[in-house]
Amino acid sequence: MSKTTKQFQTEVQQLLDLVIHSLYSNRDIFLRELISNASDAIDKARFEAHSNESLLEGNSDWKIKLIPNKEAGTLTISDNGIGMSQAEVEENIGTIARSGTKAFMQALKDKASTDNPELIGQFGVGFYASFMVADRVTLETRTGGSGENGSRWESTGDGTYTIEECSRDQRGTVITLHLKEEFKSYLDEWKVRSIVKKYSDYIQYPVVMDITRTETPKGVDGKEIEGAGTIETTEEQTLNSMKAIWTRPKSDVTDEEYAEFYKHVSHDYDAPFRTIHFSAEGTSEFKALLYLPAKKPFDMFMSDRKKGLQLYVKRVFITDKCEELIPDYLRFVKGVVDSSDLPLNVSREILQEDVQIKRIQKGLVSKVLSTLAEVKEKTFDEYVGFWKEFGQVIKEGIHFDYANKEKLQDLVLFESTATEAGSFVSLKDYVARMPDGQKEIYYITGTSRETLEQSPHLEAFRAKGFEVLFLTDPVDEWVVQALTEYDEKHLKAVDRGDISLDSEDEKKEKDKKREEAQKEFSDLISFISDRLKDKVKEVRFSNRLTDSACCLVAEEYGMNANMERIMKALNQSVPESKRVLELNPDHAILKAMDGIHKTDAASPALGDYADLLYDQALLTEGTPIKDPLRFTRLVSELMVKAAGK
């Protein structure tokens, strides 16, 4: 095949420009990225060789070789890993942007600044980092065992690349960076050595380099022999210690090493929020090194994001995203698990069914949850910061992980009528500060704290001094379906069913008042019920209102306004559900309407007022009204009337 020139996909080129221009603060990492890719490629070759030994071609002396060439001004990184076919080269490097690229670019734009190394890191632009230091990059690669020729890819990072067939005797990938003049220092032995030590020490394959030393020969007395000239010796040295960090005792690993390894597994530039390193013994033997990130990734709620932990079996790499190891609601956890029980030739299908994997998952979840409980207990402020990033995801667990419900319900935090915006209360603290006479835990669901704070449903609770939790995440509607009780107290929505906040005596008195009101306004109530019969299920007097005239409430198990909104947003069909219109018998509107009704039951104003009441109830809970034009016309007419014109 002859050499062809192709265009980078637009998004790839944009990404490349971003990387070149925004990661300048730490150029050294290009080498870490390339070594990391080489190490992954060897992992894959080792794993594939279990089922297809021919790909090895007798070459399993795993290593990553760095070759600085001062004359040519090039730095070469070579591995004997899995290699790539030509189609793979084109797919992985240059043409086809990975799913999520668009979203990623958008996330960058939303942040307004292009200097977002943490975002770029999350996306894993690995290979492209080479263009930070090189003005031309050549990649030669060949897969093993297929008898196919190799491929040669080259680009100057300016929008196009060339690709052609080439012959290669070795399986694997060789990347040659033609360094820009100002970055020739990357050819310096000590510089390369120190970067490898700093960023890639834990890589479990030798990262080697030929080291040449010039010496003057020494005599038997150990002294240099005069006039003997010099001799050059070259030996291949291993630059990294290769110790899999998770297999080392905790006391041996420094914070910097943990942080570096985190960057390797997570592609995150920030330090982790917490590091969890432990081994399990007994029914299931494994070592785990887990990290809780500090910031949520931009794609946490995207369905196609990479999930899972790295899985090793007795230090042999199996897969870099084993989804079965960690439940979805902890999908932000990063890290490595190394099992001693699983067979080496474990397949995808086995992973899904395997009891060992399930046991490991149980152990990991338990450890993550207990770590979070400890953080919450000891450093609540830090926990709040973490909760703001990941709380929404953790809450999914209450719905899906019944076995850990008890632990999870102690981890959730909510804002409430008693907290400032941005501050939180736990259920435990909520219960501890419940005033005498309060028997249930109250909450209200909706889109934002600001709207909820205005809700008429809260009036009676405010009057009583009862705290009401604000549940403003869409997932909260599912949370409360699963979390119906805490510390033997029911969780009760303030906009559902009957509410009774009063003591026996107060209740008696109110019931009496209600009965009287019912009698007094019975004709008016039947008129309103009839007028609104297509819109509401029932019209009744309320226990929740002190100031507002009316509100809408769902039945105990019916669908409330928030749930209806969420279902519609998810494009789900929403069953027709009518709610109850509750009226405040003490409100002046009722008396005024009753007055009209008694003098002229046929007055057209009555129907208009009933409609206005209903629309008011919708507006105060944040639901759009059906006919805003008519609403404004009626209100305008009333204003004119009130002004006496």
> Cβ of residue 339: shortest distance to ligand ADP, in angstroms?
24
| Residue whose CB is less far from ligand ADP, 33 or 476 | 33
CB closer to ligand ADP, 39 vs 543: 39
- DSSP assignment of 256-324 equals HHHHHHHHHHH---SPPSEEEEEEE-SSS-EEEEEEE-SS--TTTT-TTS---EEEEETTEEEEEEEGG
Q: Considering only the stretches 80-88, 147-155, 294-302, 600-608, report the one whose residues sit in contact with ligand ADP under the rule CB under 6 A.
A: 80-88
**Binders of ligand ADP in range 167-196 (CB under 6 A):** 173
Closest CA to 78 of 214, 205, 215, 201: 205
Tell me which stretch binds ligand ADP (CB under 6 A): 120-128, 321-329, 448-456, 523-531.
120-128
The count of other CB atoms within 10 Å of the CB of residue 482 is 16
The reply on whether position 279 binds ligand ADP by CB under 6 A is no
Whose CA is closest to 277, among 287, 286, 266, 267?
Answer: 287
Contact residue for ligand ADP among 19, 23, 35, 38 (CB under 6 A): 38
Kindly list the distances between the CA atom of residue 225 and the CA atoms of 214, 233, 234, in Å, as whole numbers in the listed order: 14, 17, 21
Residues 6+ apart with CB under 8 A from 198: 28, 260
Task: Tell me whether strands 536-541 and 579-583 are parallel, antiparallel or unpaired.
Answer: parallel
User: From the CB of 128, what's the least distance to ligand ADP, in Å?
Assistant: 6
Residue 426 binds ligand ADP, judged by CB under 6 A: no
Pick 101 or 451: Cβ nearer ligand ADP? 101
The interface mask with ligand ADP, positions 469-508, x = CB under 6 A, is ----------------------------------------
**37 makes contact with ligand ADP (CB under 6 A):** yes
Closer Cβ to ligand ADP, 15 or 365, answer by number: 15
Answer yes or no: are the C-beta atoms of 330 and 365 closer than 8 Å.
yes
Closer to ligand ADP by Cβ: residue 33 or 396: 33
Binding mask 570-609 for ligand ADP (x = CB under 6 A): ----------------------------------------
Question: Rule CB under 6 A: is residue 456 a binding residue for ligand ADP?
Answer: no
- Is residue 82 near ligand ADP by the rule CB under 6 A? yes
Using CB under 6 A, which of the segments 124-132, 434-442, 447-455, 610-618 binds ligand ADP? 124-132
Please name which of 110, 157, 117, 111 lies closest in space to residue 13, comparing C-alpha atoms.
Answer: 157
Q: Which helix (H) or strand (E) holds 211?
A: strand 207-215
DSSP-based three-state secondary structure for 387:
helix
Q: Which is nearer to ligand ADP, 93 or 398 (CB)?
A: 93
Helix axes 189-200, 29-49, angle to 10 degrees: 60
Q: Nearer Cβ to ligand ADP, position 77 or 326?
A: 77
Contact call for residue 104 and ligand ADP (CB under 6 A): no
Q: Find the part of the chain contacting ligand ADP (CB under 6 A) among 31-39, 197-205, 452-460, 572-580.
A: 31-39
Residue 113, CA distances (Å) to 24, 108, 516 in order: 14, 7, 65
What is the rounded CA–CA span in Å between residue 467 and residue 365?
Answer: 32
Residue, CB closest to ligand ADP = 126
Secondary structure element (H or E) that encloses residue 416, with its range: strand 413-416
* C-beta neighbour count of 192 within 10 angstroms: 20
Under the binding rule (CB under 6 A), the answer on residue 84 touching ligand ADP is yes
Amino acid at 251: S
Of 13, 22, 92, 160, the one binding ligand ADP by CB under 6 A: 92
Binding mask 127-166 for ligand ADP (x = CB under 6 A): x---------------------------------------
Q: Smallest distance from the beta carbon of 328 to ligand ADP, in angstroms?
A: 22
Write out the E strands in 43-185: 64-69, 74-79, 134-142, 150-155, 160-166, 172-179
Counting contacts by CB under 6 A, is residue 29 touching ligand ADP? no
Q: How far is the CB of 344 from ligand ADP (least distance, A)?
A: 22
Which residue number, 205 or 329, has a Cβ lying nearer to ligand ADP?
205
- Among residues 37 and 543, whose Cβ is nearest to ligand ADP? 37
Nearest Cα residue to 54 out of 142, 143, 145: 145
CA distances from 501 to 439, 445, 510, 555 (A): 8, 19, 11, 17
Map residue 604 onto helix, strand or coil. Answer: helix
Closer residue to ligand ADP (CB): 82 or 549: 82
Using rule CB under 6 A, residue 41 touches ligand ADP: yes
**Comparison of 41 and 245: residue with beta carbon closer to ligand ADP:** 41
Please report, as a single letter, which amino acid is at residue 130: S
- Which residue carries 């008696």 as its tokens? 508
Which of 67-75, 125-133, 387-395, 435-443 is the region at the interface with ligand ADP (rule: CB under 6 A)?
Answer: 125-133
Q: Closer to ligand ADP at the Cβ: 268 or 564?
A: 268
CA atoms within 13 A on the CB side of 228: 13
Contacting residues toward ligand ADP, per CB under 6 A:
33, 37-38, 41, 79, 81-84, 92-93, 124-127, 173
